[in-house]
Amino acid sequence: MSSRPPDLTGPAPSDPSERDLADVEREIGELRRITTAQRLDLAEQISALELRAEGLREEIARHPSPWQRVQLARHAERPKVDDYIAGLTSEFAELHGDRAFGDDPAIIAGLGLIDGRPAALIGHAKGRDTRENIARRFGMPNPEGYRKALRVMALAEKLHAPVVTLIDTPGAFPGKEAEERGQSEAIARALLKMARLRTPIITVITGEGGSGGALAVGMGDVLLMLEHAVYSVISPEGCAAILWRDASRAKEAAEALRLTAPDLVELGIADEIIPEPPGGAHRHRDDAVAAVAAAVRRRLAAYEGRSEESLVAGRYEKYRRIGRIRDVAAGGDSEAQAT
């Protein structure tokens, strides 16, 4: 369970390029301070350093370590759920509320037209600035968010329209009211609904795939991940705090958890990696949105004409297979993936 709002500072960098970047950024900050305090014109020096910082950032984005990918996945400038919805649909009507308690701004759900056909679109909503982030709880849903998602999935099923889910959350909100209103029940119910939903589900992890709070709208027939997106059972900070009682060892945890898109393809969890523009999705947002939209369209097209039975059976097989076990009773020491 990942719970904390994104910590964008993170622990002390240890990779060479990261350390260099931190040095350069510190220098830029220092020069800026001098510029204002002593009214010196250091614009030339500053822009030279900024160019160098930019180069280092691109270098990091080209070959990011797992921890750097976590930072990229959480980048404040990454496209948001409404950007992807706008890129995918010609028309969109947002639907509000769980019909029982309230509306959760941490999840956006509604009906849209993709190439003239109806689809349900559901995703976590992070904010564009601090105020919006607070209003949207940094994309961490309450139970009513999951209940709204479930309701809209049921509507899609009724309309024989596919469901597209877009994942970007630190996790389900760990709050007092969330518990009182049954956070566990809401997630459990959403999982059971997706397990049996008689319409295609395409899931894209666009940023942070934070544990059960992500999976609760993420049981797709196919699971796509943006190149620098991550998907984890717990946040690296949370993992480090539990295993080493030291949240600052998050970098090590990020490596141990195997949470990157290539890792998850290798583990048989993710089906496809959507490449990001050079430097990351935040550098060329329109290109990132277009890449996601193209991948979703292609995947939706592959589900045309599938019967509901084969769809649900296919989803069963997909999830039933996941895991690594060994049966020491049958066949001695034979290693096998669960079947």
Partner 1 sequence: MPAGLWTKCPRCANLVYRRELERNLRVCPRCGYHHRLSAADRLALVLDRGSFEEADQGLVPEDPLGFTDEKPYPARVEEAQRRTGQPEAVITGTGTVEGARAVVGAMEFGFMGGSLGSVVGEKIARSAERAHAHRLPFVLFVASGGARMQEGTLSLLQMAKTSVALGRLADAGIAFISVLCDPTTGGVAASFAFQGDVILAEPGALIGFAGPRVIEQTIRQKLPEGFQTAEFLLEHGLVDGIVPRADLRAALARLLRLTNAPCDPLLAGLPAQGWATDERTEADEQPTA
Q: Are 31 and 49 in contact (CB under 8 A)?
A: yes
Rounded distance between C-alpha atoms, residue 260 and residue 229, angstroms:
7
Site string for partner 1, 310-339 (x = CB under 8 A): -----xx--xx-xxxxxxxxx----x--x-
Smaller CB distance to partner 1: residue 68 or 203? 203
Smaller CB distance to partner 1: residue 18 or 168? 168
Smaller CB distance to partner 1: residue 110 or 143? 143
Is 184 an interacting residue with respect to partner 1 (CB under 8 A)?
yes
The 10 Å Cβ neighbour count of residue 191 is 18
Is 307 an interacting residue with respect to partner 1 (CB under 8 A)?
no
Rounded distance between C-alpha atoms, residue 212 and residue 2, angstroms:
9
Rounded distance between C-alpha atoms, residue 54 and residue 72, angstroms:
14
Q: How many residues bind partner 1 (CB under 8 A)?
A: 58
The 10 Å Cβ neighbour count of residue 255 is 15
Q: How far is the CB of 252 from partner 1 (least distance, A)?
A: 9
Site string for partner 1, 127-166 (x = CB under 8 A): ----------------------------------------
Q: How far is the CB of 226 from partner 1 (least distance, A)?
A: 16
> 110: helix, coil or strand?
strand
> 306: helix, coil or strand?
coil
Rounded distance between C-alpha atoms, residue 50 and residue 210, angstroms:
32
Q: How far is the CB of 338 from partner 1 (least distance, A)?
A: 5
Is 65 an interacting residue with respect to partner 1 (CB under 8 A)?
no
Rounded distance between C-alpha atoms, residue 198 and residue 96, angstroms:
23
**Part of the chain binding partner 1 (CB under 8 A), chosen from 21-29, 33-41, 94-102, 232-240:** 232-240
Is 290 an interacting residue with respect to partner 1 (CB under 8 A)?
no
Cα 56–Cα 62–Cα 67 angle in degrees, nearest 5: 85
Q: How far is the CB of 139 from partner 1 (least distance, A)?
A: 15
Is 66 an interacting residue with respect to partner 1 (CB under 8 A)?
no
Tokens of 236: 């690296």
Site string for partner 1, 242-271 (x = CB under 8 A): xxx-----------xxxx----x--x-x--
Longest pairwise C-alpha distance within the chain: 78
Rounded distance between C-alpha atoms, residue 135 and residue 150, angstroms:
22
Q: How far is the CB of 8 from partner 1 (least distance, A)?
A: 18
Q: How far is CA 193 from the centre of its chain?
A: 21
In the complex, the residues that contact partner 1 under the rule CB under 8 A are 1, 3, 172-176, 178-185, 187-189, 191-192, 194-196, 211-212, 215-216, 219, 231-234, 239, 242-244, 256-259, 264, 267, 269, 315-316, 319-320, 322-330, 335, 338
